[in-house]
């Protein structure tokens, strides 16, 4: 007789099947849903891990998280890290500046000119030309 790793409620099972079918969640969350559904069908930790290309410990952690927290355990936790120094409004201002006419004496904006002008106009306290390049790259 196979060891039963998990028993989903009918409501949770139908919710997970809907989540997987829609495919609108991040891949990490869909993988967790697939793992729980497979464990509910009686598959082993090893077979689920192999199929999803993760470790046994990862599948066991997802199972334990579901047992403790229910479906909320499938969601990603906020990740630590430094908060962004340049917010969306500042990014929009820098992008608008780049789309404006170049200053007198210049044919077009350079990244260094944009960085200097952004500081001069008070859009931000400091910004490097490479950050300006990243901001403009993301808007294309």
Q: Which residues neighbour 91 within 8 Å (Cβ) at sequence distance 6 or greater?
A: 135, 138, 139
Q: What is the mean pLDDT of residues 22-28?
A: 83
pLDDT of residue 140: 58
Domain enclosing residue 97, as ranges: 88-139
Per the structure, the count of domains in the chain is: 2
Clarify whether residues 64 and 101 are in a common domain. no
Whole-number Å distance between alpha carbons of 45 and 57: 9
Clarify whether residues 68 and 92 are in a common domain. no
**Cβ 116 vs Cβ 131: under 8 Å:** no
Clarify whether residues 64 and 15 are in a common domain. yes
Give the pLDDT band (50/70/90) at residue 73: confident
**Cβ 94 vs Cβ 135: under 8 Å:** yes
Last residue of a domain, one of 74, 109, 127: 74
Q: What is the mean pLDDT of residues 69-86?
A: 84
């Amino acid at each position: 007789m196979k060891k039963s790793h998990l028993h989903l409620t009918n409501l949770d099972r139908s919710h997970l099947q809907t989540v997987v079918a829609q495919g609108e969640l991040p891949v990490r969350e869909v993988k967790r849903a697939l793992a729980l559904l497979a464990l509910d069908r009686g598959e082993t930790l090893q077979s689920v891990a192999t199929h999803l290309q993760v470790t046994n410990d990862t599948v066991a952690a997802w199972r334990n998280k579901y047992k403790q927290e229910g479906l909320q355990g499938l969601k990603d936790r906020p990740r630590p890290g430094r908060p962004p120094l340049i917010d969306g409004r500042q990014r929009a201002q820098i992008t608008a500046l780049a789309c404006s006419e170049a200053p007198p004496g210049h044919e077009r904006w350079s990244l260094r000119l944009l960085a200097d002008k952004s500081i001069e106009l008070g859009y931000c306290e400091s910004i490097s030309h490479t950050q300006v390049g990243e901001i403009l790259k993301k808007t294309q």
